[in-house]
Structure 1
């Protein structure tokens, strides 16, 4: 590539970045006007941007505006922002205040995973025995059942983390429980997705390799945690704060790259590094280093939502079935909110925290869309079933903000009435 081509390509990339950030900003402002979290506007911007370009000039125009040599570095920058953002959010979640018990986390994870999986299996039963071939397709039954179960159980960590940050819930008990449960569910969901695609292709050997990679990553995180907790590591971090921040970012990006190369979500690598970092005071040496990493990620995270939305949603979806849309959405809402609430209550949490956790874990976001895209590309989902599940993902994610506000108002009112009754 000569100098002129390099300058033109750099200018093209810069123009795309400016356009994406402007679209994300417009989406945030629109979301706030209608009472939605800002991240919902960022997601919506990504979902609208690609189809809008296709509607105007077809896929040829989209290809000219976003050729591979331009879109690839933009997408890489977006994923860097995601990794750095998740590292900061998880480390903040673990620092300061009283942390949730393992029992509570275990029950929340169980409640937010098993009932939604069961609801997905029930939806699969309806698709297999009551619907027409337009929904069923010709995918092997086990792969279809598994994929529908995964689609009901997913919680999107990037979107959930952004909602927690926007609403100031990162340090709350409900925020910590929901994010911890989502981290476990995310790992299980990606493994089940791998198994479903493997079964659709006639084998499941890749699932074993991915499980081995995840086990190796967890082991490495334990070793890293012990090394970073050594006094000498803390002193070095305090003396070299900027170098420490660069080292944390490099560790997170490397771990995420390795997880992705092994066929797992890059978010898992960021979560492992965030969990390994010392959970000290926010104003301590590690807190300052991670704050720099997180601040960089927060600047870039809107780019991830828009880029992923363009990637996933720029193709044709076809026509859908309203019965499938209604059933999938109802099952997704009831199973996730009800399961999360039940799990929190079994874990010893209050009625209010249980409702908050259930609503927050109902955030499916772009993680759901990426999983659905993988299932659609593998031939497991038909276009009609794909569209029905996309509608479910969008409705459940958009419902998170209003439902959380409703829970806050109702529980606050109930507590005030109870307090006034006691005083009387």
Structure 2
């Protein structure tokens, strides 16, 4: 019997993998028909697949459909996809798209990042004061508060870029400013995420382990950067692009594995590798990184399904709707108020500031990556993860309707000068 199960397991894993990918495709099709970003449908269907099957089939049949051994393999595949995709995502965080004025961008970043951070700290305080141990968990208070604050302040760069392209706002002053601010805020978010995970252990040994992981991971990423800048690496890339992409993906996976083994999550190592790869308009590594990220992006639906099974299964009935409503309300309030205030102080018209605020409220897949890191680190419990997932999906889905049908380059109000001296805009959004 054991031998038979061993022989059938690869087929079982393959069937589960194909099912996850087909569910993702169905979610994308449904999202397009509803005029939503594809990632909304993909994430929603993936996260709900496990809980829905469990509710329909029951716990015993669900265990036969998706046994632990198969789920472990799927989790590994999902983690691989997440690391590869995150490598490409953080690679784009290096250069800020040109065109944003020196004064406008910092003002928007401060407002659209600090106010959501405050909303997250308020949410953490309310959850802690309510005494709900299931939603609060057992993580140290500083780590818990900081992780919730980071989760509330994230803006999803990939989804935002797609929305700007679909709406024709990519070359508008507001679109460039919003995208530049999102890139800067996500960079700050990763720094605070690392700090929160380091504080999660609750003692100095945890911080020492996190520091060691950062040093070792940084050394690996720095070595990779030096190698990629050599002429020999350039020749290998030109002659064998696919082999180079495979080697780059292996470097990202290796660094992620090292950082996770030393006390940080794998996403931190992947982020280090992404930032270490030479970037910019003149960098020849863009297509190679895009190939690695594309492979990872194709596997991320598995991550959604596994997250739905391991985190959200059995959580729906135990999470009070008041927590979900509070999370969604504070998430929207922090981003919309911060984005609007930042837009106005940056010199935008009221209508333009409203568009910037709506764009800043987009979270998408980047939010789920942060939540996964917080959950794996033992800082965010499953009920709060569910509330934050709902917040991420709601805020992303409401971006299109709030922008309205008239959001196009012709209707996008240009930014007014923040000072008497005019500033020349350079470059364009890719």
Cα distance between partner residues in 1 of 2:145 and 2:290 = 42
Which runs of structure 2 are paired with 1:15-414 in the superposition (5 Å)?
Answer: 15-91=15-91, 98=98, 110-127=110-127, 131=130, 142=142, 145-155=145-155, 160-161=157-158, 164-165=161-162, 168=165, 173=176, 174-195=178-199, 197-199=200-202, 203-279=203-279, 286-340=285-339, 354-355=356-357, 358-360=360-362, 365-367=367-369, 369-370=371-372, 373=375, 383=383, 388-403=387-402, 405-406=403-404, 409=407, 412-414=410-412
Q: Is the 8 A contact 1:87 1:271 kept in 2?
A: yes
Deviation at 1:210, TM superposition (A): 1.2
Q: Is the 8 A contact 2:331 2:391 kept in 1?
A: yes
Q: Is the 8 A contact 1:308 1:366 kept in 2?
A: no
Distance change in 2, residues 1:187/1:293 (3 Å): same
Deviation at 1:39, TM superposition (A): 0.8
Q: Is the 8 A contact 2:50 2:308 kept in 1?
A: yes
The one-character-per-residue Cα deviations of 1:350-391 (angstroms, maximum 9, x if unpaired) are 95684465233587642354366458x66x7695x6654454
Cα distance between partner residues in 1 of 2:96 and 2:109 = 22
Deviation at 1:311, TM superposition (A): 2.5
Distance change in 2, residues 1:344/1:93 (3 Å): farther
- Comparing 165-174 with 52-61, greater Cα deviation is found at 165-174
Q: Which runs of 5+ in 2 are unaligned?
A: 417-430
The one-character-per-residue Cα deviations of 1:1-40 (angstroms, maximum 9, x if unpaired) are 9875444111111111121111111111112222221111
Cα distance between partner residues in 2 of 1:98 and 1:331 = 32
TM-score w.r.t. structure 1 length?
0.77
- Comparing 364-373 with 238-247, greater Cα deviation is found at 364-373
TM-score w.r.t. structure 2 length?
0.76
Cα distance between partner residues in 1 of 2:42 and 2:122 = 32
Deviation at 1:176, TM superposition (A): 5.0
Deviation at 1:125, TM superposition (A): 3.9
The one-character-per-residue Cα deviations of 1:203-258 (angstroms, maximum 9, x if unpaired) are 35313421342244335434432332233432332233222222111111112222
Q: Is the 8 A contact 2:248 2:292 kept in 1?
A: yes
SS at match of 2:311: helix
Of 412, 415, 422, 2:413 maps to 415
Distance change in 2, residues 1:101/1:190 (3 Å): farther
Cα distance between partner residues in 1 of 2:3 and 2:321 = 54
Greater percentage in helix: 1
Distance change in 2, residues 1:205/1:111 (3 Å): farther
Distance change in 2, residues 1:194/1:279 (3 Å): closer
Paired residues, number: 404
Q: Is the 8 A contact 1:317 1:386 kept in 2?
A: no
Provide the alpha-carbon RMSD of the alignment.
4.1
Q: Is the 8 A contact 1:28 1:42 kept in 2?
A: yes
SS at match of 1:415: coil
- Comparing 182-191 with 360-369, greater Cα deviation is found at 360-369
Distance change in 2, residues 1:369/1:192 (3 Å): closer
The one-character-per-residue Cα deviations of 1:74-118 (angstroms, maximum 9, x if unpaired) are 222222222222333444665897487998776666445432222
Q: Is the 8 A contact 2:90 2:275 kept in 1?
A: yes
The one-character-per-residue Cα deviations of 1:19-63 (angstroms, maximum 9, x if unpaired) are 111111111111222222111111111221111121123333222
Distance change in 2, residues 1:407/1:348 (3 Å): farther
Distance change in 2, residues 1:163/1:19 (3 Å): farther
Cα distance between partner residues in 2 of 1:147 and 1:399 = 24
Distance change in 2, residues 1:165/1:304 (3 Å): farther
- Comparing 284-293 with 92-101, greater Cα deviation is found at 92-101
Q: Which runs of 5+ in 1 are unaligned?
A: 419-424
- Comparing 17-26 with 83-92, greater Cα deviation is found at 83-92
Cα distance between partner residues in 2 of 1:316 and 1:328 = 16
Aligned to 1:9: 9
